[in-house]
Amino acid sequence: MKTHRYALFAVAFGFAGAFFAREGAEAQPPAAPRTLSVATLAPPGSTWMRVLEGWNRELRRRSNQTLQLRIYPGGVQGDESEVVRKVRAGRLDGGIMTAVGLGQIHLPSLAFQMPGMFQNYQQLDAARARTRTGIVSAFDTAGFVFLDWGDVGFSKVFANQEVRTPAALAQTRPYVWRDDRVMPALFSQVNATAVSLQLPEVLSALNTQRVNAFITSPVAAVSLQWSTRATHMTDVNVGLVVGATVFGKRQFESLSPEHQTILRETATQFHQLLRTNLRRDEGAAVNSMRTRGMTIVSLTPAERAQWNTAFDATRTRLTGVIADAAFIRSIRSN
């Protein structure tokens, strides 16, 4: 009988423990609603913005409407250097930017955009995988959380005249991004006098013929409307324009653990989608420009060799300036 009473007490306490445990779990407050402000130069309606909007929808779904992005597109928060300053100051939570902006945080990021670094996306993907741990650690040290890479595409030479060789590029007035550290070295190597501008100034400069040439990817040229101001595209891969999404470390760590996990997991999902969509859209962008009358300039092997020589010399100039030789070798060892 005594044993029976002990058994009843044990069962009763078991039920009570389970009840209070359940009540405690139910009493855990949900994560406080958060809206993260992020800025990008990507214009509304572009490949990048369509994916970012899809990412935002998934963030809201996964978090039961408690986590979302407020996206500032088209450079309304300033150029990438300004976005980096605002994230550091806590006036923005993050940015989706090219390597030019990433280089404001960790200069060796620009090595991915040096001319002639990659022949295809497989080489780029392998380089990113090899260097990811070091990149993430470097951004963490600088006070940023590196979420994932995105693409802008293989850059080409666009101009209002045929540009078959580096010497022909020197006869144009090309645009160079004021904050870039890579393209000025290329223009100097080929003796071209570039006009330094911030990105939002370029379309106006093309309209007034202050500049009559630029180097960017076909998708970017179409999205930014620059392609409407050029008559020729030289079919040479100058370099791969890359980008990534970063958040301020303080801002990221202020999120609940649940929100941090959701942000990381959805970032991986949608940056993969972004890379897939961008690579698909490159061919479509070239076809649309050709349909609108742009001349695609195909090079002879001898002309292509001249470009490769200029690219090799430019990388030599930049080695030790934006990244050391060991890091550059780690990127190129394919």
The dihedral built from the CA positions of residue 241, 80, 215 and 191, taken in this order, carries a sign that is: negative
Q: Is 116 left (phi over 0), alpha (psi -120 to 50) or beta?
A: left
pLDDT of residue 32: 79
Q: Give the up-direction half-sphere exposure of residue 152: CA atoms within 13 A in the CB hemisphere.
A: 30
* Mean pLDDT in residue range 6-24: 40
* Mean pLDDT in residue range 209-236: 97
Instruction: Quote the tokens at residue 83.
Output: 């976005």
Cα separation, 170 vs 163, whole angstroms: 9
Identity of the amino acid at 109 = S
Count the residues in the chain.
334
Cα separation, 144 vs 252, whole angstroms: 9
pTM for the model stands at 0.87
Does the pLDDT at position 105 exceed 50?
A: yes
Tell me: the pLDDT tens digits for 80-99?
A: 999 999 999 999 999 999 99
212: which DSSP letter?
-
Q: Are 213 and 172 in contact (CB under 8 A)?
A: yes
- Least confident residue range of 21-25, 48-52, 64-68, 179-183: 21-25
pLDDT of residue 73: 96
Range list of H helices, the chain: 2-27, 47-62, 80-89, 99-105, 121-141, 166-169, 183-189, 202-207, 218-223, 249-253, 257-291, 301-318, 325-332
* Mean pLDDT in residue range 42-71: 96
Angle at which helices 121-141 and 325-332 pack, to 10 degrees?
A: 140
Instruction: Report the percent of the chain where pLDDT is more than 90.
Output: 89
29: which DSSP letter?
P
What is the residue-averaged pLDDT of the chain? 91
Residue 98 in 3-state DSSP?
strand
pLDDT of residue 150: 93
Distances 15 to 193, 224, 247 between C-alpha atoms, Å: 81, 65, 46
Tell me: the pLDDT tens digits for 153-194?
A: 999 999 999 999 999 999 999 999 999 999 999 999 999 999
Q: Are 274 and 113 in contact (CB under 8 A)?
A: no
Q: Are 224 and 73 in contact (CB under 8 A)?
A: no
- Identify the burial level of 176 via C-beta atoms within 10 angstroms of its C-beta, where 0-12 means exposed, 13-18 middle and 19 or more buried: buried
Predicted confidence band at 242 (pLDDT cuts at 50, 70, 90)? very high
Tell me: the pLDDT tens digits for 303-330?
A: 999 999 999 999 999 999 999 999 999 9
Does the pLDDT at position 276 exceed 80?
A: yes
Q: Are strands 195-197 and 175-177 parallel, antiparallel or unpaired?
A: parallel
Q: Are strands 232-234 and 295-297 parallel, antiparallel or unpaired?
A: parallel
